[in-house]
Amino acid sequence: MMKVVDIHSHFFPKTWPSLQQKFGGDDWPWLRHQKSNGSGLEKAMLMKGNKEFRPIYSACWDGKVRIEEMDQHGVDQQIISATPILFAYEKPVEQSLYCAQLFNDAALEICQVNPQRLFAMAQVPLQDPDVACVEASRAKSTGHVGIQIGNHVGLKNMDDEGVLTFLQHCASEDIPVFVHPWDMMAAERTKDYMMGWTVGMPAETQLSIVSMILGGGFDRVSKELKICFAHGGGAFAFLLGRLENAWLHRDIARGKSAHPPSYYLDRFYLDTAVFDHDALQLLVSKMGTDRLMFGTDYPFPLGEQQMGQLIKTAPQLTELNKQKLLASNAEQFFVLPK
């Protein structure tokens, strides 16, 4: 039997104090729970202010439900992280820090149901790198296995001075970082058909990797940094040839990077949430088999519904490589118990 570790899954606490009451403003997230009819899974509507954002169910907040569903799908261990709507990067730093501590502690509580199988990544107020560093260190000391950050802070990309300061802190303290797209570009033009998720999110992630490379981020942050980008890196692998060509033939496309983009492929990891064998094979051919980690986006509808099947049924992967993608790489990256 192959061990399976899912590094990309999300949680919400069942309840939390009203952020609107505490801080004012009309765009804070909260859960509107449905009355339970006594059977089936409990459901709730995730609200942003008075707008419905997404229907969710009890796997988000109930570790027992999560473990049951992991068992059904043969997932041995799972790392839970906040949903980006909880980041509050656009708020004053003290409000964002309050959210980080609230949700970070709540994540650890959910993991208490089975601390050998459930692990958590923390969030930090990335708009203030100094405060973010302190919270990252606190989170590590309380048991978080890594930090999840949003892929940008307003107009600041991954090559921003403050973001690089934070990444260097994580490199120095051996804190793994997972980069999740959020606050998607071109919101006005992608508001229909969930295009913010299917088009905007992968574009955000590709932008993050490109800005990190061309902004000289990988040249400046030490090689010890463990960093993984979500959703297979968006369109990065597919468009690497275009990026490489631009770097070689247009000096202004080189930015601050000391080497061509392909030079940096061994500096980061990607998850495997791509839902297609050809896409997975492209990732393997560009990134190799040591830098890909299984991720589902569970328990959301846009996640892998049959968790683990994409890798388990991949025609070109050997059993050894399947095991690397499904568990071994993640065990090393996050330092998980075997």
Residues that bind Zn ion (CB under 5 A): 297
Closest separation in Å from C-beta 224 to Zn ion? 25
- Nearer CB in complex with Zn ion: 82/283: 82
- Which residue minimizes CB distance to Zn ion? 297
- Nearer CB in complex with Zn ion: 204/297: 297
Say how far residue 138 (Cα) sits from the centre of its chain: 20
* Six token digits for residue 134: 């302190």
- Nearer CB in complex with Zn ion: 160/297: 297
Residue type, 91: K
Q: Within 10 A of 3 (CB to CB), how many other CB atoms are there?
A: 16
Strand segments (E) across the chain: 5-11, 29-33, 43-48, 51-57, 77-82, 118-122, 146-150, 177-180, 227-229, 269-271, 292-293
| DSSP 8-state secondary structure symbol assigned to residue 312 | H
Distances in Å between the alpha carbon of 188 and those of 192, 200, 206?
Answer: 9, 11, 20
Closest separation in Å from C-beta 121 to Zn ion? 11
Angle, CA of 138, 328 and 77, to the nearest 5°: 60
CA gap 164, 256 in Å, rounded:
14
- Nearer CB in complex with Zn ion: 80/133: 80
- Nearer CB in complex with Zn ion: 6/297: 297
Closest separation in Å from C-beta 10 to Zn ion? 6
Closest separation in Å from C-beta 110 to Zn ion? 16
Closest separation in Å from C-beta 307 to Zn ion? 14
